[in-house]
A and B are shown apart, each in its own frame.
Chain A
Amino acid sequence: MAHTSAATVAPGRSVWNGGVSPMGASYGKLMMWFFLLSDAFTFSGLLITYGLIRSAHPGYAGEVEAFTFSTEYWPVPEKVFEAVPFLHGVELPLVFVGIMTFILIMSSVTMVLAVEAGHRMDRKAVEKWMLWTILGGITFLACQAWEWTHFIVGTDTPTLVKDFVNGEWVTKEVFGANLRINQYGPQDFADFFFFITGFHGFHVFSGVMLNFLIYYNTVTGVYDRRGHYEMVEKVGLYWHFVDLVWVFVFTFFYLV
């Protein structure tokens, strides 16, 4: 596997003169790295815009216990995300997000174990760990589906929100959220929730698809015939990146 750290070249010739891989990685792996760099910029764009809009809105100044939803200030995230499936009405701030984080980190571990097994040409172990990784990805997506549903449907008590209807301002009771009106805070808050977690969720979804492809190729013996399991490594890079982005989304959207 491409793990030789230094390329050997004839004396007097630069490693950049061709014929060797100066970065010690295959073309495909290198391009995956640079794709991930560009993807990191895209996510940075979303998260930094979130930071811009959030710091442009007044924060909630009172006690956290007395917090109520209002479009006047940016909501405290732990008061928005406090629901857990099957525990209706119980306030468990950030617990469900914590579970989702745990699931994604664990699926990252199983992925790195699949890559390790691939280095050893151990088909059975790659199959096992890829299956665990796919399961982790699907579980994460299911959790996100539930979280979105809860966010869209809303809480038991509505929030009074001013809305511009037929040329005049009316105050109405709003449950949940969509891209135009929401009960949690300024409209930008809900919009960023949908865009940032949605864009990340889409990455998880495509990651699961790629993982399945790798699993299929492993089972059918494609990589054994090819003589190496480098595809597992490349898709592994993508999957770890998805986990990496979640670490940032978790901090900047849910914790801060």
Chain B
Amino acid sequence: MAHAQEPQVTVIPPDKEKIKKLWTVAGILLFVTIIEFIIAFTMGHGTLKTAIFVGLTIVKAAYIVGEFMHLRYEVKVLLWSILIPMIFVVWMLVAFVYEGMKFSEINF
């Protein structure tokens, strides 16, 4: 292929605020992970610990999906089209883990 004329591209200068915000989100993600580590080694195993871990995981997921994947700033129809089907996952999780606990009563 012959080299066609390179197109004239105007580079827009970076927006410092925007980039700073992205690094802030990264900082939050790392901070939450460190908190998870501290909890992992200072708390006894139990329902409360699991609940805290699930909560912190959802916080991290919200930051990744909302900020990094930009979903927070998309049209609301798109946001809900992605989030509402997640109800099935929540239902499946509750149903199956409950079922697993029943298995353990029967088998062991």
Q: Which residues of A contact B (CB under 8 A)?
A: 3, 5-6, 22-25, 30, 33-34, 37, 40-41, 44-45, 48-49, 51-59, 64, 76, 78, 93-94, 98, 101-102, 105-106, 108-109, 111-113, 116-117, 119-123, 125, 221, 224-225, 227, 236-237, 240-241, 243-244, 247-248, 251, 255-256
Contacts and interface: CB of A to CB of B under 8 A. Distances in A.
A203 B89 CA distance: 20
Can you list the 10 inter-chain pairs with the closest CB atoms, starting with the nearest?
A: A55-B100, A56-B103, A24-B75, A120-B12, A52-B100, A56-B100, A52-B96, A23-B78, A109-B26, A251-B57
Interface of B: 4, 6-7, 9-14, 18-19, 22-23, 25-26, 29-30, 33, 36-37, 40-41, 45, 49-50, 53-54, 56-57, 60-61, 64-65, 67-69, 73-75, 77-78, 81-82, 85-86, 88-89, 92-93, 96-97, 99-101, 103-104, 107-108
A33 B78 contact: yes
8 contacts: A23-B74, A49-B96, A51-B93, A54-B100, A76-B45, A225-B6, A237-B69, A251-B36
B68 to A, nearest CB: 5
B8 to A, nearest CB: 9
Nearest to B60: A247
Contacts of B104: 55-58
Contact of B40 (A33, A78, A244): A78
A256 B81 contact: no
Contacts of B50: 256
B75 A105 contact: no
Contacts, number: 155
A248 B86 contact: no
